[in-house]
Amino acid sequence: MDGFRKGQNEEMSHESTGNLFSPGLEGVPVTHSAICDIDGLKGSLTYRGYPVAELAAHSTFLETTYLLIWGQLPTPQQLRDFEGEVQMHRRVSFRVRDMLKCFPATGHPMDALQASAASLGLFYSRRAIDNPQYVYDAVVRLIAKIPTMVAAFQLIRKGQDPIQPRDDLAYSDNFLYMLTDREVDPLAARILDRCLILHAEHSLNASTFSARVTASTLTDPYAVVASAVGTLAGPLHGGANEDVLLMLEEIGNPDCAGVFLDKAISSKRKIMGFGHREYRVKDPRASILQGLAEELFARFGKDHMYEVAKSLENEAESRLGPKGIFPNVDFYSGLVYRKLGIPRDLFTPVFAISRVAGWLAHWREQLGANRIFRPSQIYTGPEPRSWTPPEERIEPLDS
């Protein structure tokens, strides 16, 4: 530690700024926001004041998107216009499709999505973010084209040509159609639409913070969404839904859940799909998703992994519950997507299709009262020192 100023600098930083260092920014407000409210003790979640359970029961994903981005539920005419615009912009340029064809089929679809979302910025002017028409058009394009790009990469990597969106199909029906190239069951499409509502927004999570930081530089919305997609991909965030299924498969049998948990906890392994920075109770979205999973199983047949999941949740209650660790949104969503025929590595891209609504709501809000994000740090590096010629350098003893 010789020559390093860790403790000293940390103290100075506290003294000079009066601010406390909070790893992961836990409990540090970094913006005002009127989009979403979470009560982590009661397990409640509202979008623009509406309980998410009500929206999931009665709204559609596009109506909820409109609500999140423009702050009010649309009138019937506003909704028809918005749905019509989104429908008109679902197609993507042949250049985007050709680009997707150049990506390795073995690459992760989240990486393909991040690159293709960023590529949209090449097609549309980036200097008009203060023009309301540009903002509206960008929202429409991103909401419309992201599902098309996710579905296109899925078909391309299977060696097929992407299929064009169908104008007679609603948003989620069309996505499932483009993904599977088959007629879509209306119940399956409605359940997917409800999943999209549930994932659309969740205040200042990591990817939304990422979106706001990027937005605060006044870059274009395609870069904002691309940076958020990259952040969502990680296993501690949206990527957990994939890992939950891997974990359930590893457990394999409901009777093995307790032993698995004991081993995992004693080796400090995280239980995927459990825990949340905000909630100290079961995530309200997890309860609704569990209900959706049961609706699907009743119609299309059971999934053995659901029994494993329920047993894990049961066993975890006594072991993790006292620490406020319960299932989060990612715990049951993978089981729903699997029953809908969505491949495991598309679970997070499907999450992204939905969360783009929240990111764009935060993009608009950030632009409305912008100040570039530029936090400070507590420097822990060496004291100032001089460059030395290579022949005079000595290998440090501890290297």
Q: Would you name the residues annotated as active-site residues?
A: 276, 330
Residues in binding contact with ligand ACO, number by CB under 6 A: 20
- Binder to ligand ACO among 56, 272, 356, 361 (CB under 6 A)? 272
Nearer to ligand ACO, 254 or 273 (CB): 273
Can you spell out the DSSP letters for 24-60? GGTT------SSEEEETTTTEEEETTEEHHHHHHH--
In angstroms, how far is CA 43 from the centroid of its own chain?
19
Binding to ligand ACO (CB under 6 A) within 273-332 occurs at 273-277, 320, 323, 325, 328-330
Residue with the closest Cβ to ligand ACO?
A: 275
Told to check if 355 binds ligand ACO by CB under 6 A, we report no
Name residues contacting ligand ACO, limited to 199-238 (CB under 6 A): 205, 236-238
Task: By CB under 6 A, tell whether 36 contacts ligand ACO.
Answer: no
Q: Give the torsion through C-alpha atoms of 107, 109, 115, 117, to 10 deg.
A: 170
Q: How many other CB atoms are found less than 10 A from the CB of residue 387? A: 4
State which of residues 68, 169, 271, 305 lies at the interface with ligand ACO (CB under 6 A).
Answer: 271
Q: At what angle do helices 109-123 and 221-232 cross, to 10 degrees?
A: 170
Stretch that binds ligand ACO, among 50-58, 67-75, 121-129, 270-278 (CB under 6 A): 270-278
* Phi, psi at 239, each rounded to 5°: -65, -10
Q: Which residues lie below 8 Å from residue 347, measured CB to CB, with a gap of 6+?
A: 241, 242, 245, 333, 334, 337
Residue type (1 letter), 256: C
Name the residue nearer to ligand ACO (CB basis): 24 or 159.
24
Shortest spacing between CB 323 and ligand ACO, in angstroms: 6
| Closer CB to ligand ACO, 25 or 163, in the complex | 25
Q: Which residues bind ligand ACO (CB under 6 A)?
A: 24, 205, 236-238, 240, 270-277, 320, 323, 325, 328-330
